[in-house]
Structure 1
């Protein structure tokens, strides 16, 4: 395996880390407290080309690939950027924009990708429903063909970027009476189409700067030309094809956050004096730091390997499932040890380690729970 990327792409990663340290880190605490997504910050990112890292160059993107984009998000996280903002950024690129590039026809790509790559339009994907979470194939949002339009009705829940998106990839049941993954179709729904809205923004424990909400489709009219991919292949084609990308690239900023956390802990331990000497001199503290570092290095190798496999068109469902099954626990260990090292100060909101503790529970749930991913991995191991 070769984890090297081009000098040009490395320059992009380096510029993102510098940008994040200068522009994103100072906003992290206030965005979390207010639960706000910063549109001015997003516009700056768009102007610098960061919102289109995965898109092809012909659409205004950087064509950074899975490994380069994972490294870019890691760099932003390592610089201390708010994890919520990074989640929204990654979701825009991976589960919305990339699906359109992979499955869209030429007209769809020309219509949507330039606006998404520039950041003018923000993307989302709507799969999960109030009663279709881990059992994602049980979606009931309907798509009924009427003339040259599909009429969508139903509700989607826990949609990252839902309250702020301009375009959303929607998975709906297009074959009445069908069950499971069969009979579902993907649609590109944009803000010019009547009949859909974000009903409410959810007030979350963590990742508060990433707007998450419920999307309601009430006789939403979608032209037939906005079918994404093949009719009947919404789950089996569009949704399932992006799983490896999602479980790799969206973990990049989590990895970066773990690196930021350990650096904060080392700095704090060197400066915090108890019993007449820095707590960094105590073996107990050193072991905590070492354990955090071991998790970071392990997760980095797992994610880089997956990204390399994706870029080389190698199947990696087993690998991404195995990583996703343990990643959340590694992150929570990192956050827990960080708070323990900071002691009472670690419980205070003025220190970033408190925020990570709240942010990272999502990793055991979103994008497939740790339990479901163990089931997926087991199928490969026992077949």
Structure 2
């Protein structure tokens, strides 16, 4: 449903208060411990953060794409690991079910995802199937009314703590590319499914990422998302198109925070007898950063509105993800530069965010893949 401005404003203010009072003060603690305290996760559940984009009939908030973009811009102004804890459930881990799940699958799983009782994850990427996701080697062999899944997945957010896995496997060994790929819902505890310890990462400490190993995991045919074999890659692309808009919003929030931190630093740090903010080259870094933040925010919200209106925004979603993630990287780099030597020491927001946002240019499609896709679609449109 589309909320009026007052309702949306109240929601955003409630989220903002939670982030500022309960998350921001423990950013450094979470970064050092590589874990979000359970009481904070419970507060996320109580605030309904796990179900923002899940339809209201299944216990979620049913936010529109634009409303969710505004929420993502807000929640990512504190360390991005906090959003990652609930973001899968209200994003890529539930979207496959929302767009293609059977009525029974939706009734069974979406309320659990919306409440945060269950944590979901999206198991698509493999060691040799990253940017070329259609090259996946995980197989699902039919055996009566069951399938036996064998393979491994990597770089899967929330895999070490997930209860529900959306696993993509090839059900037709003779097919190539996107054809013959099927999406399955697999619950933790299924014999043969295991998740090794989480990776040690450059940034986003507190957001566990790891592998999913599937050793002859047996699932009933009712586990197929949508109940139709061979439609998995189409389901994945539907989920990823929306997620790229979500991710673009998540790139805007840290840049907003960093501009604020840069201004504060420029006003308080003194050199040559005056605040460094008096120097024009410092002002240039702040001005360029703030301008790019506004440009990215405008692009994200415009694309979100077009998607809500029913338009095909496949190319625009790629543009959002490309521009916002690259913008965020540039702003983070300028923040470290403005902080000077202190920005290289691991005790401040500039250094921490610099590590955290580097991932944005890699997942949900690298910048290079998005450049390629945008170019192909641009030229195809011109030819048409």
TM-score, length basis structure 2: 0.95
C-alpha distance in structure 1 between counterparts of 2:3 and 2:299, whole Å: 15
Give the C-alpha shift of residue 34 in structure 1.
Answer: 2.1
- Tell me what 1:42 maps to: 41
- Tell me what 2:328 maps to: 331
Q: Tell me, what secondary structure is at the counterpart of 1:221?
A: strand
Mapping of 1:310-325 within 5 angstroms?
310-325=307-322
C-alpha distance in structure 2 between counterparts of 1:38 and 1:181, whole Å: 40
1:95 corresponds, among 77, 92, 96, to: 92
Q: Tell me, what secondary structure is at the counterpart of 2:69?
A: helix
Q: Deviation per CA, 1:60-94: give whole Å up to 9, x if none.
A: 1111121111211211222xx22122234222321
Mapping of 1:359-378 within 5 angstroms?
359-378=356-375
Q: Deviation per CA, 1:91-136: give whole Å up to 9, x if none.
A: 2321111211211111111111111101111111000001101110
- Tell me what 1:147 maps to: 144
Give the C-alpha shift of residue 381 in structure 1.
Answer: 1.2
Give the C-alpha shift of residue 253 in structure 1.
Answer: 2.5
Kindly indicate whether the alpha-carbon contact (under 8 Å) linking 1:141 and 1:173 is maintained by their aligned counterparts in 2.
yes
Q: Which is further off, 106-115 or 69-78?
A: 69-78
Which stretches of structure 1, 4 residues or longer, exceed 6 Å deviation after superposition?
Answer: none
Q: Which runs of 5+ in 2 are unaligned?
A: none
- Tell me what 1:15 maps to: 14
C-alpha distance in structure 1 between counterparts of 2:367 and 2:373, whole Å: 10
C-alpha distance in structure 1 between counterparts of 2:244 and 2:4, whole Å: 20
C-alpha distance in structure 2 between counterparts of 1:142 and 1:8, whole Å: 46
Q: Tell me, what secondary structure is at the counterpart of 1:175?
A: coil
The 1:29/1:5 distance shift into structure 2, 3 A limit, reads farther
Q: Tell me, what secondary structure is at the counterpart of 1:200?
A: coil
Give the C-alpha shift of residue 290 in structure 1.
Answer: 0.3
The 1:143/1:243 distance shift into structure 2, 3 A limit, reads same
- Tell me what 1:187 maps to: 184
Kindly indicate whether the alpha-carbon contact (under 8 Å) linking 1:83 and 1:254 is maintained by their aligned counterparts in 2.
no
Q: Which is further off, 251-260 or 110-119?
A: 251-260
Give the C-alpha shift of residue 226 in structure 1.
Answer: 1.2
Q: Which is further off, 361-370 or 324-333?
A: 324-333
C-alpha distance in structure 2 between counterparts of 1:130 and 1:40, whole Å: 35
Residue 233 (1) aligns with residue 256 (2): no
Give the C-alpha shift of residue 27 in structure 1.
Answer: 1.8
- Tell me what 2:32 maps to: 33
Q: Which is further off, 311-320 or 368-377?
A: 311-320
C-alpha distance in structure 2 between counterparts of 1:66 and 1:5, whole Å: 15
Give the C-alpha shift of residue 5 in structure 1.
Answer: 5.8
| Equivalent residue pairs, number | 378
Give the C-alpha shift of residue 4 in structure 1.
Answer: 9.0
Q: Tell me, what secondary structure is at the counterpart of 1:199?
A: coil
C-alpha distance in structure 1 between counterparts of 2:3 and 2:216, whole Å: 49
C-alpha distance in structure 2 between counterparts of 1:199 and 1:192, whole Å: 14
The 1:120/1:217 distance shift into structure 2, 3 A limit, reads same
Mapping of 1:48-63 within 5 angstroms?
48-63=47-62
C-alpha distance in structure 1 between counterparts of 2:210 and 2:89, whole Å: 15
Kindly indicate whether the alpha-carbon contact (under 8 Å) linking 1:156 and 1:216 is maintained by their aligned counterparts in 2.
yes
Q: Tell me, what secondary structure is at the counterpart of 2:128?
A: coil
Mapping of 1:113-128 within 5 angstroms?
113-128=110-125
Q: Deviation per CA, 1:232-263: give whole Å up to 9, x if none.
A: 0101x211112221111123222111111111
Mapping of 1:72-111 within 5 angstroms?
72-78=71-77, 81-111=78-108
C-alpha distance in structure 1 between counterparts of 2:358 and 2:97, whole Å: 29
- Tell me what 1:166 maps to: 163
Q: Tell me, what secondary structure is at the counterpart of 2:161?
A: coil
C-alpha distance in structure 2 between counterparts of 1:324 and 1:27, whole Å: 28
Give the C-alpha shift of residue 206 in structure 1.
Answer: 1.1
The 1:204/1:5 distance shift into structure 2, 3 A limit, reads farther
Q: Which is further off, 122-131 or 302-311?
A: 302-311
Q: Which runs of 5+ in 1 are unaligned?
A: none
Residue 250 (1) aligns with residue 247 (2): yes
Kindly indicate whether the alpha-carbon contact (under 8 Å) linking 2:254 and 2:328 is maintained by their aligned counterparts in 1.
no
Give the C-alpha shift of residue 57 in structure 1.
Answer: 1.1
- Tell me what 1:156 maps to: 153
RMSD, matched Cα: 1.5
Kindly indicate whether the alpha-carbon contact (under 8 Å) linking 2:267 and 2:276 is maintained by their aligned counterparts in 1.
yes
